[in-house]
């Protein structure tokens, strides 16, 4: 009889495109999300936690590819008593679920409905460096208001949020544009078909990479890219391309100058003039609220995502420099974006419902805060009460209960207490600030030993023996002073 093969052990590895987050990272993210939620709440927005799973139908046409339901999303088909049911998917973003929630509950919700949402989203896309299939988003949206005051408010709230989480004024800028202005430019160009319009939109989207000269070439006959490959152009004449160039280069020294340049770029287009007027209103509202050009600017070069939005669009960009993987200086770049999307809820209701909102890339914002040195320092672990006699575990539990009751993070060592050195190594690995020691002699004398592990580490790294003798890092105190002495040490490092 053949010997039965054992099932292979599963590999202990994170699936491709995903990652694990440990203590400090989780804590830093939670603290930042709480700060953001505080700003959103102060602006009058209510929290919403929608389902992580939606029907593929509800997620809709805004997926990167809808030829197959699971392309771009993690999707599966329900099996209902042997029959094939709906296709379901993990949410791709937090906006499509909002559209479904509002359409479903609109009779019970105020109009306009102001909500914020925070949580993970999932994208079934090819992972790469810094690009994961699961990541956090943090959104705020106003549904049911067509007023540009709602767009201006989102921009102001975004600026306030960045400063609250630790991005100082001068290290960021919120840039504002309008899809209607671009529509006016396309109208002024007199393009003959949708294919040409789509090609122009794709070319405009490359403005940040190739600049004005590159856009001119791509709108015309084409250009050689950095690799030497030739990219075919749209085939427009210089006269046809000129409105696009005027649009992309219309940013002036002041908002007033920019508005005037945009008016010239859209020519006689009615929709273009409407978009310029909206930008002018937004600029006036922000100025009235004290948000100057050092925080928020009208900038026609904001072109990403214009195919999705129907009106004002905005993007928060961090302007400080970092070093890339090759040691070259570059700006950190965008950490948030949004705009007006008046057609999304209409998919469910058949009736137009105006909406505007913003989404913050939580992981990118955390990375920015680490670059600025605002977070990322070594976390402080709990006070560790060591175990000298396992038969006196009740005494040690009483100590840790007192510390916790005083609001001090603390734990009893729960490993094998036989080797005391291992207990201190454990405390070091936990980045514990203090270890508490009470052996039989201490118990008999009514005292405890308190070891300052932070000072001990500093002395071990840099101090001479004489300095060690002058600055003891271990103290004997009466048992009744346990909490006060531990608090004194912790406060000295806070």
- The pLDDT tens digits for 21-43 are 888 889 899 999 999 999 999 99
- How confident is the model over 303-330, as a mean pLDDT? 78
Residue-wise pLDDT for 378-414, tens only, equals 678 999 999 999 899 999 999 999 999 999 999 999 9
Mean pLDDT estimate for the chain: 87
Distances (CA, A) of 141 to 101, 117, 153, 364, 384: 13, 9, 10, 20, 45
Strands 113-122 and 230-232: unpaired
Sort 39 into a burial class: Cβ within 10 Å, 0-12 / 13-18 / 19+: buried
Burial of 113-127, coded b for 16+ CB within 10 Å and e otherwise, reads: bbbbbbbebbbbbee
Number of other residues whose CB lies within 10 A of the CB of residue 289 = 14
**Are 345 and 143 spatial neighbours (Cβ–Cβ below 8 Å)?**
yes
- The residue with tokens 């004194």 is 488
* CATH architecture of residue range(s) 23-201+249-371: 2-Layer Sandwich (3.30)
Which structure tokens are listed for 324? 């890339």
- What does pTM read for this prediction? 0.83
Distance of CA 119 to the CA centre of its chain: 10
Distances (CA, A) of 347 to 58, 103, 116, 320: 9, 9, 21, 40
Residue ranges per structural domain of the chain: 23-201+249-371, 383-493
Least reliable range by pLDDT among 192-196, 340-344, 432-436: 192-196
DSSP state of 13: -
CATH number of 383-493: 3.40.50.800
């Amino acid at each position: 009889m053949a010997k039965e093969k054992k099932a292979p052990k599963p590999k202990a590895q994170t699936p491709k495109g995903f990652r694990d987050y440990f203590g400090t990272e989780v804590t830093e993210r939670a603290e930042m999300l709480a700060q953001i939620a505080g700003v959103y709440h102060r602006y009058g927005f209510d929290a919403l936690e929608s389902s992580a799973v939606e029907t593929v139908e509800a997620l809709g046409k805004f997926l990167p590819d809808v030829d197959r339901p699971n392309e771009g999303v993690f999707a599966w088909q329900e099996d209902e008593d042997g029959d094939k049911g709906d296709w379901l998917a993990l949410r791709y973003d937090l906006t499509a679920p909002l559209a479904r929630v509002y359409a479903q509950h609109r009779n019970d919700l105020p109009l306009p409905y102001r909500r914020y949402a925070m949580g993970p989203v999932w994208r079934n896309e090819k992972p790469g460096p810094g690009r994961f299939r699961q990541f956090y988003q943090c959104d705020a949206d106003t549904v049911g208001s067509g007023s540009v005051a709602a767009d201006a408010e989102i921009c102001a709230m975004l600026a306030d949020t960045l400063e609250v989480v630790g991005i100082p004024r001068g290290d960021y800028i919120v840039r504002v544009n309008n899809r209607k202005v671009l529509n006016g430019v396309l109208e002024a160009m007199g393009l003959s078909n949708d294919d040409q319009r789509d090609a122009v939109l794709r070319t405009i989207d490359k403005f940040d990479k190739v600049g004005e000269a590159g856009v001119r070439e791509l709108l015309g006959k084409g250009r050689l890219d950095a690799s030497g490959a030739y990219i075919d152009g749209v085939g427009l004449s210089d006269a046809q391309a000129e409105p696009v160039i005027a649009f992309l280069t219309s940013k002036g020294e002041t908002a007033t100058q920019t508005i005037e340049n945009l008016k010239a770029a859209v020519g006689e287009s009615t929709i273009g003039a409407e978009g310029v007027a909206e930008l002018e209103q937004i600029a006036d509202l922000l100025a009235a609220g004290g948000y100057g050009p050092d925080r928020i600017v009208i900038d026609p070069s904001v072109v990403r995502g214009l195919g999705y939005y129907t009106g004002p669009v905005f993007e928060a960009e961090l302007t400080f420099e970092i070093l890339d993987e090759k040691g070259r200086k570059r700006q950190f770049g965008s950490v948030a974006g949004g705009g007006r999307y008046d057609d999304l809820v209409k998919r469910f209701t058949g009736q137009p419902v105006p909406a505007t909102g913003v989404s913050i890339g939580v992981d990118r914002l955390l990375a920015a805060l680490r670059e600025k040195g605002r977070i990322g320092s070594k976390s402080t672990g709990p006070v560790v009460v060591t175990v000298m006699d396992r038969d006196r575990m009740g005494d040690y539990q009483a100590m840790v209960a007192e510390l916790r009751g005083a609001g001090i993070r603390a734990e009893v060592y729960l490993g094998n207490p036989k080797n005391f050195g291992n207990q201190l190594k454990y405390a070091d690995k936990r980045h514990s600030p203090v270890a508490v020691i009470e052996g039989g002699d201490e118990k008999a004398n009514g005292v405890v030993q308190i070891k300052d592990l932070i000072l001990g580490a500093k002395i071990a790294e840099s101090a001479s023996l004489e300095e060690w003798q002058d600055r003891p890092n271990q103290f004997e105190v009466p048992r009744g002073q346990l909490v006060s002495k531990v608090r004194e040490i912790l406060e000295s490092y806070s």
